Amino acid sequence: MRIYLLWLLVASFTLSSCAFTGNSVVRQELAAEYMDLADAYVAVKKYDKAATFYERAGTHKAYYNATRYKLARMYALSGKWENAVEILEPLYTMEPENLLVANSYSYALVSLGELEKALPIYEKNYSENTDNPVQARNYAEILFLAKRWDDCTAHIARMREQFGDAEELSDLSDLEKRIEAAIEREKKEAEKETEGEADDSGSTEGAEATGDTDDTGEPDSSEPGETGETAETTDTDTTDIDGESVESE
């Protein structure tokens, strides 16, 4: 049924377009048809097509603001986060109190990997809407992504006390498990790094104990076979542990 309605809109749009030729200015009625057609493509999840017609509708000043957010949403649904941020950033600058825009912009930033830029927006959204369980849950997620385990755990306790069994907070137990798993990963990574440093130190001490230096403290220059022994070298294996980011599970 949705596809049938879509084709009706396409046919209507085609007939209307015939009335405009040459350098005629696109009228508001045509922009409205672009909007309807874009919305129809959204309904059947054709986000690239929808974006094309939102862009066309936005060329008319009466629809410019309305199409900006919808176009950003299409880019987000298509995974084009850079394009989404490019549109949402000026919208947020103009209306920082618009919670819908603020949430969308901060989420796009996180998806783009700009966590530090998104964190203060999440904090602001929550601090100005402390009675909103959705904003509280969003803030918990950004605390987790920022690896602020203690703050996140404390915030979860506050949410349970304030909101009880609110539907928006039904996954708090899962979030707590993710925190535990992340802490355990960090612990294991730290242990591996410590073991690696200990192995390197032991290799260096072992090389000194085998007499790889002569009495003058200079390296032994004997060639293999001269003394009936084989000169040995010890390679130091250094493993870098990346603790910069922990992915949400």
What is the residue type of 60?
H
Task: Show the CA angle centred on residue 121, arms to residues 120 and 124, nearest 5°.
Answer: 85
Q: How far is the C-alpha of 192 from the C-alpha of 174, rounded, in Å?
A: 27
Q: Where are the alpha helices (DSSP H) in 18-114?
A: 28-43, 47-57, 64-77, 81-94, 99-112
Output the tens digit of pLDDT for each of the chain's 249 residues. Answer: 544 444 444 444 444 444 444 444 546 888 899 999 999 999 999 999 999 999 999 988 888 988 999 999 999 999 999 999 999 999 999 999 999 999 999 999 999 999 999 999 999 999 999 999 999 999 999 999 999 999 999 999 999 999 999 999 999 999 999 999 999 999 999 998 888 776 666 665 555 555 554 444 444 444 434 433 433 333 434 333 343 333 443
Q: What is the pLDDT of residue 61?
A: 86
Q: What is the pLDDT of residue 195?
A: 82
Q: What is the pLDDT of residue 14?
A: 45
**Residue 35 near residue 57, CB atoms below 8 Å:** yes
Q: What is the pLDDT of residue 66?
A: 86
Instruction: Please tell me whether residue 219 adopts helix, strand or coil conformation.
Output: strand
Q: What is the pLDDT of residue 184?
A: 95
Q: How far is the C-alpha of 127 from the C-alpha of 122, rounded, in Å?
A: 9
Q: How far is the C-alpha of 133 from the C-alpha of 145, rounded, in Å?
A: 19
User: Which residue is it, tokens 């000026």?
Assistant: 90
